[in-house]
């Protein structure tokens, strides 16, 4: 398996697993600290009913429009998204606006969602805002955002395909992300087969523990014994 693109069959298997279980499986491999590799609560899932989205990161930084700053054109941003290797794609967009404008305007709504779907994007993760919530579900693009706003203000792209940091997680172009209603997890691409195997171990152990905890007549004392490994 190439290190930069994961086999499609493995991506499909990842998409069958919820994000907390994927996170637990990664922990068992000891590839990073337990406080690393996932986004914090500064972004939230906007459409929990959409389920799991797995994809390769395409990254962009944006801000309020500034006459003294030059950035890529919107055409250049869309071309970069279109040419990014790997499908499906997750667009990770960091708001680098000045403090007085941070998360005030909104880059993403109905029109851009149709654009992104056409470019192979299945999920957007941003610490900025989103709008048109009534119309986005039919488009099918998932969103994790810092909030909702009615107006787009005046937004400009600042850089594309650069490392960005959203909700405490630094994401590089091409990183593999796993998302659902619980949040966003960075998946080590070179360990996906091991992660999927570890998922089965996690499910077996948790299932056995839950079965004991649900047993008829379980007492508080018995619960303590179970959780103590007895």
Report pLDDT for 151.
86
User: CA-to-CA distance for 70 and 38, rounded, in angstroms?
Assistant: 31
- The strand pairing partners of 180, in sequence order, are 183
Most confident of 62-71, 85-94, 98-107: 85-94
Report pLDDT for 176.
97
Choose the weakest-confidence range: 124-128, 147-151, 194-198, 226-230.
Answer: 226-230
CATH architecture label of 8-197: 3-Layer(bba) Sandwich (3.50)
Inform me whether the pLDDT recorded for 134 exceeds 80.
yes
Tell me the domain boundaries of the chain: 8-197
Inform me whether the pLDDT recorded for 2 exceeds 80.
no
pTM: 0.92
User: CA-to-CA distance for 57 and 164, rounded, in angstroms?
Assistant: 10
Local confidence band at 106 (pLDDT 50, 70, 90 cut-offs): confident
Taking only the tens place, the pLDDT of each residue in 10-60 is: 999 999 999 999 999 999 999 999 999 999 999 999 999 999 999 999 999
Assess contact for 4 and 174: CB atoms under 8 A: yes
Report pLDDT for 24.
97
Local confidence band at 67 (pLDDT 50, 70, 90 cut-offs): confident
User: CA-to-CA distance for 225 and 230, rounded, in angstroms?
Assistant: 5
Report pLDDT for 226.
87
CA proximity to 188, closest of 14, 9, 12? 14
Local confidence band at 1 (pLDDT 50, 70, 90 cut-offs): very low
> How large a percentage of the chain has pLDDT more than 70?
97
Report pLDDT for 127.
94
Average pLDDT, the chain: 92
User: CA-to-CA distance for 84 and 81, rounded, in angstroms?
Assistant: 5
Report pLDDT for 88.
95
User: CA-to-CA distance for 63 and 122, rounded, in angstroms?
Assistant: 23
> How large a percentage of the chain has pLDDT more than 90?
78
User: CA-to-CA distance for 120 and 80, rounded, in angstroms?
Assistant: 12
Taking only the tens place, the pLDDT of each residue in 179-198 is: 999 999 999 999 999 999 99
Report pLDDT for 3.
56
């Amino acid at each position: 398996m190439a290190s930069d693109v994961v086999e499609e069959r493995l991506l499909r298997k990842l998409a069958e697993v919820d994000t907390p279980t994927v996170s637990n499986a990664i922990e068992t491999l000891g590839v990073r600290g337990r406080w690393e590799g996932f986004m914090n609560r500064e972004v939230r899932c906007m459409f929990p009913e959409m389920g799991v989205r797995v994809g390769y990161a395409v990254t962009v930084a944006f801000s309020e429009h500034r006459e003294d700053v030059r950035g890529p054109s919107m055409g250049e941003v869309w071309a970069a998204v279109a040419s990014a290797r790997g499908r499906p794609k997750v667009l990770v967009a960091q708001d680098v606006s000045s403090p007085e404008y941070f998360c005030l305007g909104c880059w993403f709504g109905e029109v851009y969602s149709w654009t992104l779907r056409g470019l192979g994007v299945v999920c957007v993760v941003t610490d900025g805002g989103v709008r048109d919530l009534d119309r986005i579900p039919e488009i099918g693009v998932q969103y994790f955002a810092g909030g909702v706003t009615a107006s787009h203000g005046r937004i400009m792209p600042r850089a594309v395909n650069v490392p960005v940091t959203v909700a405490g997680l630094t994401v590089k172009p091409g990183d593999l992300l796993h998302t659902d209603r619980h949040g966003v997890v960075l998946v080590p691409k070179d360990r996906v087969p091991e992660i999927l195997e570890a998922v089965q171990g996690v499910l077996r152990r948790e299932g056995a523990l839950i079965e004991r905890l649900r047993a008829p007549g379980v007492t508080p004392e018995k619960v303590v014994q179970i959780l103590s490994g007895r």
